[in-house]
Amino acid sequence: MSKILIVAEHDGGKLNASTAKSVTCAAKIAGATIDVAVLAADAAVIAAEAAALAGVSKVLVVESPANKEPLAAVLAPQIAKLAAGYTHVFGPSTTFGKDVMPRVAALLGVSQVSDIMAVDGSHTFKRPIYAGNAILTVEAPAGAPVVATVRVASFAAAAAGGSAAIEKVDPGAALPSHTRFVSRSGASTGRPDLQSAAKVVSGGRALGSAENFKLIYSLADKLGAAVGASRAAVDAGYVPNDLQVGQTGKIIAPQVYFAIGISGAIQHMTGIKDARTIVAINKDGEAPIFESADIGLVGDLFKIVPELEKALG
């Protein structure tokens, strides 16, 4: 019988959607009991949101000022203690989970299964390697805890409607003081979140400047879409780093993805493999993006994008 502990991701006030997606992944393991651990300074709202997820049995709450910021070195020893008695410990494969979960794995004496994209059994998982150019099926040993991150783009969010018990716990771990939070500069844009948006409009190097990138923002706003970018556009400073889509940026699965002035390098395509429909606008008919696009339009984006915005009414 699998007993799974999911490490909740939150922003200090609200639960991140990546947690509900991790629950869906865990629920693919037949007969699993699923608990969620919330480590926070002020956990009431977050714990209530976690308890409302369908399929969750229990929410373990560790409330402490030390858990105000998500510092891996502080969270990992607590999670490792909470893991006692669980067969699996899952976290989302977001920058939060990628930071903390391998540290948990090392404390538990196991390697981590990174980026689960499909569950074949309680210990057998599919995960992408080589930027998603190959899919590896691995089997973890039955006798050891499975510590894993969940590729959130591969799973829908668990529905609401649950009513799990909430239990305050004290893992009693010794916490280090060698790591201190200084600041966070977040881009709260009022636009949909790139990682969970149904529609995404992305721009590439072809935009040429931060000023020109307004074309992308404007089209996105018209569509109610999130904005993304290629690495080249981020490196050139047109947009902030948190908009990067790809192997080393965000892996997303929107209903529709507009790639505008993006060539379609494999590292970029890795980020949108699960997009339902890919629309490419590029002036080069030979650009690799057209090999993967569902709908392609060859032409100059500076002409097409304003036209498209207008045509959408």
Ligand X SMILES: Cc1cc2nc3c(=O)[nH]c(=O)nc-3n(C[C@@H](O)[C@H](O)[C@H](O)COP(=O)(O)OP(=O)(O)OC[C@H]3O[C@@H](n4cnc5c(N)ncnc54)[C@H](O)[C@@H]3O)c2cc1C
Give contact residues for ligand X (rule: CB under 6 A): 204-206, 230-233, 244-249, 261-263, 265, 267-268, 282-284, 287, 300-302
C-alpha to C-alpha distance for 99 and 247, rounded to whole angstroms? 16
- Helix, coil or strand: residue 25: helix
- CB nearer to other proteins: give 95 or 163: 95
106 contact, one of ligand X, other proteins, none, CB 5-8 Å limit per kind: other proteins
Query: 214-223 vs 301-311: helix axis angle to the nearest 10?
Result: 20
DSSP β-ladder status, 88-92 and 146-150: parallel
> Which of 60, 229 has the CB closer to ligand X?
229
* Distance from C-alpha of 93 to C-alpha of 98, rounded to nearest angstrom: 5
* Min separation Cβ 185 and other proteins, Å: 5
Give dist(CA 75, CA 242) in Å, integer.
23
- The binder of 89, among other proteins, ligand X, none, by C-beta within 5 to 8 A per type, is none
Bridge partners of 134? 129
The reply to whether 157 sits near other proteins by the rule CB under 8 A is no
Q: Is residue 234 a contact point for other proteins (CB under 8 A)?
A: yes
Q: Which does 174 bind (CB under 5 to 8 A by kind): other proteins, ligand X, none?
A: none
| Binding site partner of 261, from other proteins, ligand X, none, Cβ cut-off 5-8 A by kind | ligand X
**Both structure tokens of 16:** 């991140």
Q: Minimum distance between the CB of residue 178 and other proteins, rounded to whole angstroms?
A: 4
Q: Using CB distances below 5 to 8 A depending on partner kind, what does residue 277 bind out of other proteins, ligand X, none?
A: other proteins
Q: Which long-range contacts (C-beta less than 8 Å, at least 24 apart) are formed by 293-298?
A: 293/259, 293/264
Q: State the nearest-atom distance from the C-beta of 305 to ligand X, in Å.
A: 9
**DSSP-assigned letter for residue 53:** B
